[in-house]
Amino acid sequence: MQNNLFQDQKFRGILYQTLVVGFFALGLYFVINTTAYNLEKRNIATGFGFLNNPAGFDISFSPFLDFKSTDTHLKVYFVGVLNTLLVSFCGCIAATILGFIVGIIRLSSNWLLSRIAYIYVEFTRNTPLLLQIILWYAILIQLPRIKQAPQIWETFYISNRGLFGPKPIFLEGSNIVILSLILGFIISFFIARWAKKRQDTTGQQFPTFTTNLSIIVFLPLVVFFIMGSPITLEYPVLKGFNFKGGAVIRPEFIAMFLALSIYTAAFISETVRSGILSVTKGQREASGALGLKKNWIMRLIIIPQALRVIVPPLTSQYLNLTKNSSLGIAVGYADLVHGFGGISLNQTGQAIECMAITMATYLLISLTISFFMNIYNRSIQFKEK
């Protein structure tokens, strides 16, 4: 009887799965027990109450939230998330632009140019990202000191303490200018939709790009002057050993930004290259035979088809870049891992809570990016009729 049971595939399947669940539950029980014991022995209280305690340390780079050392660990977390998102967002955009340029250069008919792009790709892909971050940082802090900082039009100063520049000061009425800018974007979105619809039905073209550009530029500009220039610039002025006023981009951020975007661009350029190569030669020839102009062929025929191949790996590159931004800890960039998962963890000793929150946040960011990229991916795939 038993022999028969074991030969039954269904029974075996249930048995194996029960065993796996059982072992997992047993392991979990064991881990939770020992952890509870260890925590009690080390006098670590569990729970998330520590989030409301004052942090007691300063964060050098917090462009969005004002941070003082009396602020809570919860605020450290938000500063960290914002810094992670900031460098990832800037990095993704720069990496995409650079990656597309390099990918197209790699296919250039100019042998020397494509070789240079190839060397760039091989060198950046084959050295560790962490090393590149540290190297960029080392180069940036070798820049001249603040006193000897080279300047551009007495507005921008490049020094070993960062890039100093003018800071916009928002006076009363600036809200309306910003609102008009947003309004401009919304209007141009609808114009673009209308123009596409009209072209689809009647074939008539509308100068969408110029119209929209002028709406986005001139509408806020007009409002700006009507409101009596409510936004002014505050320039950095050298006072003693440091600059007074103005805005500063710290070398930690610049190093992270440069390293992340240059490293990821090398990977993106490879996917762009393979995407463009995946469009068959016949497509180019056919569109040429229809009399399309050269840049139209690229824009209307090649790129849309190449994008279908490019977008899925591009998504994983964005995810990689976001996760790699956690390396900011090596140069002291106050991102999620450095600020919350590092300093807060060390100060409070709440290892489990801090790590759990940090990991959950990264999971959430990853899932969000893949969600939006999947929507975009679906919108550019073949629509078979």
Partner 1 sequence: MENNSNFETRKPPVATTGIIGWSRQHLFSNWVNSFITLLVIYFLYQLIPWFLDWSVFSADFWTNYKGELIVDRTFCSRVADPEGDHGACWAIIIVRFYQFMYGFYPSEQVWRVNLTYFLLVVALLPLLIEKIPGRKHLIKFTIAFPIIAFILLYGGFGFQVIPTNKWGGLLVTLVLGVFGIAIAFPLGILLALGRRSQLPVISMFCTLFIEFIRGVPLITLLFFGMVMLPLFLPEGLNLDGLVRVLVAVTLFQAAYMAEVIRGGLQAIPRGQYEAAQSVGLSYWQMNRKIILPQAIRISIPSIVNTSIGLFKDTTLVIIIGLLDLLGIGRGALADATWMGLSNEVYVFVALVFFIFTFSMSRYSLYLEKKLKTGINMGAD
- DSSP code for 45: P
Region from 216-224, 244-252, 254-262, 351-359 binding partner 1, contact rule CB under 8 A: 351-359
Q: How many residues bind partner 1 (CB under 8 A)?
A: 57
User: 3-state class of 125 per DSSP?
Assistant: helix
> Can you list the alpha helix ranges (DSSP code H) found in the chain?
2-7, 9-41, 73-106, 111-125, 129-140, 174-202, 208-226, 251-278, 281-289, 294-296, 303-324, 345-348, 351-380
Among positions 55, 129, 140, 259, the unique one binding partner 1 when judged by CB under 8 A: 129
Contact 208, 194 (CB under 8 A): no
d(CA 39, CA 21): 26
Among positions 317, 318, 343, 344, the unique one binding partner 1 when judged by CB under 8 A: 317
Among positions 169, 233, 352, 380, the unique one binding partner 1 when judged by CB under 8 A: 352
Closest CA to 322 of 159, 91, 47, 134: 91
Is residue 332 at the binding interface for partner 1, with CB under 8 A as the rule?
A: no
Among positions 54, 56, 63, 128, the unique one binding partner 1 when judged by CB under 8 A: 128
Is residue 16 at the binding interface for partner 1, with CB under 8 A as the rule?
A: yes
Could you tell me the CA-to-CA distances from 289 to 277, 292, 300 in Å, in that order? 20, 8, 14
Is residue 367 at the binding interface for partner 1, with CB under 8 A as the rule?
A: yes
Counting Cα atoms < 13 Å in the Cβ hemisphere of 140 gives 22
> Shortest distance, CB of residue 316 to partner 1, whole angstroms?
5
Among positions 113, 171, 182, 286, the unique one binding partner 1 when judged by CB under 8 A: 113
Query: Judged by CB, which is closer to partner 1: 195, or 354?
Result: 354
d(CA 223, CA 178): 9
Is residue 107 at the binding interface for partner 1, with CB under 8 A as the rule?
A: no
Provide the Cα torsion 261, 267, 270, 272; round to 10°.
-50
170 sits in which H/E element: strand 167-170
Is residue 39 at the binding interface for partner 1, with CB under 8 A as the rule?
A: yes
Query: Judged by CB, which is closer to partner 1: 166, or 332?
Result: 332
Is residue 38 at the binding interface for partner 1, with CB under 8 A as the rule?
A: yes
Region from 88-96, 229-237, 288-296, 313-321 binding partner 1, contact rule CB under 8 A: 313-321
Among positions 96, 212, 271, 344, the unique one binding partner 1 when judged by CB under 8 A: 271
What is the contact surface with partner 1 in residues (CB under 8 A)? 13, 16-17, 20-21, 24, 31, 34-35, 37-39, 41, 109-113, 116, 122-123, 125-131, 134-135, 138-139, 267, 271, 312-313, 316-317, 320, 323-324, 326-327, 329-330, 337, 341, 345, 351-352, 355, 358-359, 362-363, 366-367
